[in-house]
Structure 1
Amino acid sequence: MKKQNNLGILLAGMLGLSALSANAQNSSVWARIYDDVQMPSVLPNGSIGAANGAFASALNQAGVTHVAQALPNSKNEHLLNVVSLECACDETTLTQTLRNFPNIVAEIERAPEYHTLYVPNDYHAAFGSNYALDLIKAPQAWDLSHSSSAFVVGISDENLNPSHEELAGKITYYDSNNSLSPDHGTAVASLAAG
């Protein structure tokens, strides 16, 4: 009987802990910081630092764990001061903490949630380095559309072999006056044509 009671207590405790961990929240908001001088940052020890000590302390008490520019590549100077703040707390707590500093923080809103809908299954298959694909952000483009015969792709390269089997029925214009070697152009056009 005593073993059953202990087992019951153990199971109840485990259920309670799993319920607590299920309710644990991580939140992320974007906010604009008025002045670069007041921009918070993550210190080497993992805590949050800022020129305003009270602001830094409030962010640490709220459980902020990550601070980064939300739009670092923006050409708009106003948007360069937008930061993403993440915390091990609920969104209301984080938002209220930021609202307590109206001279430092403005325009607080829930951070967007991004979900990958599609990742091509051949991204890592053929090549060890995808530098060029990463440079033009091809994986993000693949998320816009998987395929469509309505797409027209222009290849500005050397000559190509218009009768190549992978290009059959896929060429809408071919410059027959091009006298360069067709090797590289055919390879590029074949990759683009799929």
Structure 2
Amino acid sequence: MMYSQNRQDYYIEIKEGTNLGTIKQIINPDSTITLTTNVAGFSNFINSKTVYGFRKAFPTATTPRLQRLYLMETSEYYTAADFLVNEDIVNVSEINNDLILTSSYEPPIYTNDYNELIYENLLNPVLEAVKAPLAWRITKGDPSVLVGISDGPYSPNHEDMDGKVIFEYNISSGPLYHGTQVASLIVATNDNGIGMASIAGWNTNLVFANTNCILLF
């Protein structure tokens, strides 16, 4: 992301085990910052660069790797290599770049049911569009998180969604195809060699309201 002030935004990934603690910033007269963290060497390194902002990229994240990601605003004249020389930094990427989501030790995850259903030699275009194999490296979901769907009926015996719908509320009847399709896009079981992969088909569960798209008030 470029600015008229010739600035550049980077994601910075801090190595596992490094705790920066509470981040404090002083804004200098030239709009750069002086950073204070629990790690003096890291703070001194950042303060030796032209940096305009440094903060948690995902402050409410519970996933460990997301907790180690920071957003840094700096001069456009720096490259990722200028920051990777610091021992506490393991990954640097411009925003909108895939690099921060993957690395040489964490390749993308491609399941054995990832390919497109009809044209089996093609990768699933929907999952490719949202970069699901990279996201799965960060998290495969949490069974305590429930996704709710209000749609037409779904097939409760579908083999690719076995055990994924933990509660169903029925007030309508009709064909099963649309509700089944929507549910399977979200929670069809991943990497089981059956049917298709889904965006949250690892640990996420579903609450299904069979309303035939009738709004409830």
Normalization by structure 1: what TM-score?
Answer: 0.40
Higher strand share: 2
When you count helix as a share of all residues, which structure comes out higher? Answer: 1
TM-score normalised by structure 2 residue count: 0.37
Report the structure number with the largest CA radius of gyration: 1
